[in-house]
Structure 1
């Protein structure tokens, strides 16, 4: 029987909770012995109670003093701290939670950066978090000082219910093992075979066309998530989970939207639980170490993951049973399976069962790769189509390139995609404004000094300090991208702005991370997004946002500045970015006789 999370947290902190009262007890005894006088009994309880906040206060002041000394010793300074009105930064936490639920992504952090600089210490519940949007410091975290930063124990503890021991939740040798194990499945030969993309794109676009002909708009985010889920599971398992077979959702206003069979479709149940698990994981990240006190009696992530396991475990058990049968028949042995190379046609699941028969290890790795392969690509395609709905001139130019390179019906090749410079620019500009992973975090493993920038002093990072960073805010900085940084303009990746901003400072654009942990599936993602967009725009010539159905942002957002003022969807993020309640669109079919 598992103990409730809150009880686990209290038990793990019993030594820290008991030490201050124990010292008070010893102090009372020493007082009695040294002064031959007994303190009044009524004073005992207040002393015991006050010993806890007093010990916390002393530890916080000591840590501040120690860090300032170490910073001076290294010829550096500490990151400026965001001031808070309430003890422990409770007001900052409350604002953070409010922004997470109802605000525009990154609003609070952007304001703090404007007031204090692009690197700030945001202390929440007495825990320092050195937040940065500075490319030089993100470069240090991801590349130049990579050995000094890990995902860290706090991150592991927060996301373990979701990611387990998979590649995105591991460090050091375990991470290297996972990385080397999955790398062969993202080789050029494997990611340039487009049969899987073609099969599921044809299904998705066919359903899209049929639903639009019925006169209904389509939630593109929901549809594309089904496409990427089916594509990812076929790539990983060798067979897809047929989420597209459930059909597309109807607008909430339609009586057809209330379909019990649709809601209970196994793939829909899995997808819903998987999203809820990620949202719950992201929410607990706001609280740091004490997140268990917020989920005192039950692990909110685990209850959703149990639903996911019911869906995915039969697939994994079938693969393990297949291996067991081959072993019993004497056709394979554990040793020769582990030592051999990956063979043609082998899936990641096939490969994993050759390494271990531990269902949990296999499941964790598969789900890690599924988040990377499904959610990030679906989010990117969603926001590309959202941008095309807002910029018909970009859509027209992109279609011209597609039709001139591959025509109105031919299946694109890898070489075709490489020649489509504007297509890549559209994707990159979408990734700039709407990066798939908008926020990330590392933890320093040793004392580290970040270099001074533009005449400022270096910044000292104490050991065991969380260092969150945001490529979402980084990608929108006007001092790095120019005065039009918040505008959607794919040409910035083609014209003189490329050489002016990005070429001399490549770490201002890191949608796939960088350094040793750079995304293995980067080219896979570009190929999948490019392939689907080509097929989509061969079929449709116009895209518009169905604002009569779309969940629009609050009216007061229009009074803000920057992109917040022009958004027509509510952007949110868990581990990855998504549009709240979907992106509902109408599309016009292209003429069969259309040519460039």
Structure 2
């Protein structure tokens, strides 16, 4: 009985301590600007009333009203929302503030403690292993896969056009996601036999996970795991994760069989060889086989993370990029002109060719400014911070960093909604804050796959723009939805006009003009 009393007292004291710490922190953070809130529940009434589909717009409104740093409070958490480049530099450039916030904990059932969600020594070890998989000598070997998948994409567009008497507007997101997922499977995972059905089911499951996550964040009770597991969404999440894990388990086991049948010394010596590949999955499997520095569960964590992040973020970036070019024909024509100059009559670009596409790279950067694939990241302050904007943030504060608002700040980018690749001319960049542009985050936890993504974006542009002229459906601005990556409420539709047909029509028009 005495033991039970001691446990009860200890539990009560711990809970009391947590409550006192929370309210002490809340008093300190109360100096940060915030939407009007209730003394007890903070801004919870606003969060509960808003439709989850409108949460993205709500955050944008808060940023406009309260500036580059503002506070949101609930009875269980207070978050500081940041979009000032000076504050972002203080957080992201330091190895101190590298722990992700509890928001990422909701992904743990799916992604485990992979590179996205882990921290500390585990993160350092995994990052060290995986960095080798993105060496430039390895990336250049992936270009053949990117070119091949782009050819399949353009063929699919041609087939869809042939189904109509005139080219129709096509929802590009499913097409692009299919391509990037197949490319990720073949490059980093070494799998060529992923079926179209598997790809479609995998994409659907990822989208479902995004919706479930956001619904859970907006509900105070379901943030508690033991309650969430009993809900309909909790059961649906378990089924969805089971499907996602089945997909990655199949990839891992098939590749492991292939590796065990290879000559081990030959495979290991291929790491920095220009003739062979050392894919990400190969590195992980060899680490397991050689010294057991990672187990099967750890491999699946990283495969789940990279199959999701590696294809979805690139697909989003490419979809917005194509729409941006369709919306700005003069820029599209200038990119096509550069492609002709650099590539000539080559059927595909070489690795060196892609690095010569200076104007095209500026176009890609501008598209990523307006449409960052990951519009939001979150960390925990590992020590007290005095921000460059003048606010004191105690250790343990949850820091939400809004890259979307940073990139659309009129104080940093004049006329921020204008699509202007010249923002990234050297003269225009030199006076800009180094943390004013973060499409791949920055600092020690920056995106490990950013060179991989840029290579795929350039490769795809080469294939598409040399065959098609892009036209958009008249929508210049999108309605965005809160999700794991930047998504739109409406389809991103583009019309692909074969260049041969466009040239023929222009010739006829010119002849008619001359005759007139």
TM-score range, shorter chain: 0.7 to 0.9
- Residue 440 of structure 1 corresponds to 377
Q: 1:161 touches 1:301 (CA, 8 Å); kept in 2?
A: no
8 Å contact from structure 1 (residues 266, 311) kept in 2: yes
After superposition, residues 177-576 of structure 1 pair within 5 angstroms as 177-193=125-141, 194-215=143-164, 216-242=168-194, 246=196, 265-286=197-218, 291-292=223-224, 293=227, 296-297=230-231, 298-322=234-258, 344-356=276-288, 358-407=295-344, 410-451=347-388, 453=389, 458-482=390-414, 484-494=415-425, 497-499=428-430, 503-545=431-473, 566-567=476-477, 569-576=478-485
Listed one character per residue, the Cα deviations across residues 472-525 of structure 1 (whole Å, up to 9, x for unaligned) are 00000101111x1111122222385434xxx44121101111111111211111
Question: Quick check: 1:228–1:378 contact (8 Å CA) kept in 2?
Answer: yes
Please say if residues 271 and 277 of structure 2, whose CA atoms lie closer than 8 Å, have aligned partners that are also in contact: no
Q: Does the Cα contact within 8 Å between 2:48 and 2:218 map onto a contact in 1?
A: no
Secondary structure of the structure 1 residue equivalent to 2:455: helix
The answer (yes or no) to whether the contact 2:385–2:395 under 8 Å persists in 1 is: yes
* Partner Cα distance (1:495, 1:337) in 2: 42
Shift of 1:544: 2.8
2:54/2:481 contact within 8 Å kept: no
Relative to structure 1, the CA distance from residue 15 to residue 296 in structure 2 (aligned partners, 3 Å threshold; closer, same or farther) is farther
When normalised by structure 2's length, the TM-score is: 0.84
- The alignment's C-alpha RMSD in Å is 3.2
Determine if the alignment matches structure 1 residue 119 to structure 2 residue 82: no
The CA distance in 1 between the partners of 2:313 and 2:107, in whole Å, is 18
1:558 matched to which residue of 2? none
Counterpart position of 2:12: 19
| Residue aligned with 1:345, SS | coil
Q: Specify the SS of the correspondent of 1:542.
A: strand
Q: Which residue of 1 aligns with 2:121?
A: 173
The Cα of 1:527 is off from its aligned counterpart by 1.0
Residues 62, 220 of structure 1: CA spacing in aligned structure 2 closer, same or farther, 3 A cutoff?
closer
Q: Secondary structure at the match of 1:169?
A: coil
How far residue 17 of structure 1 moved from its aligned partner, in angstroms, is: 12
Q: Contact between 1:379 and 1:436, CA under 8 Å: does it hold in 2?
A: yes
Q: Could you tell me how far apart the structure 1 residues matched to 2:152 and 2:9 are?
A: 58
Aligned partner (choices 497, 501, 516) of residue 588 of structure 1: 497
Extract unaligned runs of 5+ from structure 1.
1-13, 24-51, 69-76, 247-264, 553-565
User: Match of 1:350, SS?
Assistant: helix
- TM-score normalised per structure 1: 0.73
**Deviates most, 516-525 or 338-347:** 338-347
Change (3 A) 1:473 1:295: farther
Rate the CA distance shift 1:338–1:497 in 2: closer, same or farther, 3 A. Answer: closer
Shift of the 340–83 alpha-carbon distance from structure 1 to 2, 3 Å rule, reads same
List aligned pairs for 1:67-106, cutoff 5 A.
67=28, 78-85=31-38, 87-88=40-41, 89-94=43-48, 97-98=50-51, 100-102=52-54, 105=56
What is the CA distance between 1:289 and its match in structure 2?
Answer: 8.9
Distance 1:197 1:370 in 2: 16
Aligned counterparts of 1:56 and 1:351: Cα–Cα separation in 2: 43
> How much does 1:593 deviate?
11
Higher-RCO chain (CA-CA 8 Å, sequence separation at least 6): 2
Conserved? CA contact 2:33–2:71, under 8 Å: yes
CA distance in 1: counterparts of 2:220 and 2:396, whole angstroms: 13
| 8 Å CA contact 2:271, 2:278 repeated in 1 | no
Q: Evaluate the alpha carbon distance shift between residue 235 and residue 339 of structure 1 in structure 2; reply closer, same or farther with a 3 A threshold.
A: closer
Q: CA deviation at 1:213?
A: 2.0
SS of aligned partner of 2:86: helix
Q: What residue in structure 2 maps to residue 7 of structure 1?
A: none
Other structure's SS at 1:481 match: coil
1:587–1:148 Cα change, 3 Å: closer
Q: How many residues of Structure 1 are paired with residues of Structure 2 in the alignment?
A: 482
| Cα 1:526/1:408, change in 2 over 3 Å | same
SS in 2 for 1:507: coil
The answer to whether the 8 A contact 2:189-2:282 is kept is yes
Question: What is residue 509 of structure 2 aligned with on the other side?
Answer: none
For 2:58 and 2:10, how far apart are their aligned partners in 1?
A: 33
Larger radius of gyration: 1
